[in-house]
Each structure stands twice: as structure tokens, then as C-alpha cells.
Amino acid sequence: MVGQTPHESVWRLARSQHGVITRAQLLQLGYTRHAIQHRLATGRLHAIHRGVFVVGRPELDMPGRWMAAVLACGPTALISHQTAGEIWGIRARRDRPIDVSVPAGTTRAVRGVRLHRRRSLGDRDRAVHHGIPVTSPIRTLVDLATRLSAPQLEAAVNEADKLGLVDPERLRRALEGMTRQRGVTALRHLLDRRVFRLTDSELERRFLRLVRRARLPMPETQASVNGFRVDFFWREFGLVVETDGLRYHRTPSQQATDRRRDQIHATAGLTALRFTHAQVRFEPGYVRQTLVRVVARLVRKPDRDTP
């Protein structure tokens, strides 16, 4: 920036890069190799990777470590896979090597970094989040599909939707243009319109798997019924199902609210079922059998208007 000293420019750039800077950037800002070596010797710079330094104190937070890793891997490198999922907030943080995607011909190795050598990543695969070069949400999900189990991948897609990163319809359209790429088939299978539904929690995803095993039609999720957002709603049966997680529905006030909701649904002619976390997780057979029997009874009832 005009009017700034080299020292001020270094601090400004380092702050924008979570506390790190490269040797090449220092040289561009006017520092000589001797000046860089002097600052390393006096503790004003601290080497974290070859050619990458921490400015000031040596401690780095997680974003700083991510930024240092991607800078150490070259100008076209991107954080990817599990680490990209952590940056976007769709995967929980893990204490493991940082995933970085680099061009196929890259030969360098970086301590604490797991390299993914790739032939090409297009502009649509690239993004910057909190100043960190990272694979786009869609590319991140495709990469994660090569590593995650089906339930884990489903959870990641749901998180991406809740965070406003990408919705299932947009993800489906993007996959149409991706051929012969690892992970695409798994995502397409997951997003099959006949089986995929958005949910708010792992408990609800467990419940939907029970619905599939019971060979019942898939319900609407997070639908508005009688002024309430309900977990699951079979409009054709007039059936509302709520799943009560461990963290919710514990206080007397919340329990009273739950009962009132159920009563309002009943007054409107709907059947309301409520299953606990323990039932869904540890008594899946009982939950599945209850659903089948209730649906069979409702099918025999005359048609009714539903909200």
C-alpha cells in the first residue's frame, strides 16, 4: 500500500494470512535474504515450513496452520478433503494431517501435510474462505464422498445445506457435469430424490433409515403443520412424528410445550407420535414396527383434510 513502510506492509499482509508470510512475499516487499535471516535469528520471524514463516510470536491457531500449509505447497495449492470440510464447517475438526490438493507433477513433501496430487482443478473448484484458499463446497463434498461412510456423507450434505453453502438441487445439477470422477457416484446415489431428505440431526437421519427399512413412503421433513415445524410429516396419512434428542425436551416447560403441540395436532384430526433418542437408537425394531402398524391403521381410515 502507498505510504507504508516495508515493516508495516509485512504486518498487514501477515494479518490477512492468519499470521504467516512466505519468503517470496518478503522479498517482494523489499526484504533482502540477509534481512530475513536476521529476523529469524532475532525471533521476529519463526520458520514453520520451508519458505513459510510466522510473524512475531511462534504460536499459531488452526486457521494459521491451515494457511501456512497451503502456502508451503505452492501458489495453486488448495486446502481440500477432510480439512476443507472443517474449514467450511461441515465436518468436525480432527487432529490429523492437513489435506492439501496440488498439481499432479508436484514432488515436494511438507511436514504435517497430506498431499493430493491432481491433474486439474477448474475455477469452479476453487474458493477462498476466511482468506484461506480451499476447494469449493461442491468439490469438497465430492472429495469427501471418496472417504466417508454413507451416513457421514449424508450428515455433511445436510450441514452444507443448513449453512447455505449448497442445496441438494444445486448439488445434483453440478454432479451432472462431472463424469468419471471419484466420489460422484456415491453422491448421486445419496441424492436420489426417492430417498434423500434434509434433516437437522443425526437422530433424525437414523429415523429416516428406519423408515426406509420399513418400506414406507418417505415423509416431509421440517414441514410446517398447524403453525409448528415438525420433524416428519406424512401428509397422505395425517401422521406427525417427532424425535426427541438428548439435548432437548428435557425441561418441564419444553415437555409441556411438546404436549400442547401433540394436542393441537390431535384436535386437527392428525395422529402424533413421539419417539425418544433411546428408542430410535437402541430399539429400532420397536420403532419400525410401531410405524408400520400405525400407518396400516391410518390407511384404513377415511380420507381427511390435512393442514
Burial 230-252 (b: 16+ CB within 10 A, else e): bbbbbeebbbbbbbbbeeebeee
Provide the pLDDT for residue 113.
96
What is the rounded end-to-end Cα distance, in angstroms, of the chain? 61
Q: What is the pTM of this model?
A: 0.76
Provide the pLDDT for residue 248.
42
Provide the pLDDT for residue 119.
83
One DSSP character per residue, 83-129 reads HHHHHHTSS---SSPEEEEEETT-----TTEEEEEES---GGGEEEE
Tell me the per-residue pLDDT of 219-275, one tens digit each, with 9 for 90 and over: 999 899 999 999 999 999 999 999 976 444 445 666 778 889 999 999 999 999 999
Which H/E stretch holds residue 272? strand 271-276
DSSP code of residue 303: P
What's the CATH number of domain 202-299, 3.50.50.60, 3.30.390.30, 3.40.960.10, 3.90.1150.10?
3.40.960.10
> Which stretches in the chain have pLDDT values below 50?
1, 246-250
128, 88 in Cβ contact below 8 A? Answer: no
Tell me the per-residue pLDDT of 126-148, one tens digit each, with 9 for 90 and over: 999 999 999 999 999 999 999 99
Q: What are the sequence ranges of the domains in the chain?
A: 6-60, 74-112+135-190, 202-299
167, 161 in Cβ contact below 8 A? Answer: yes
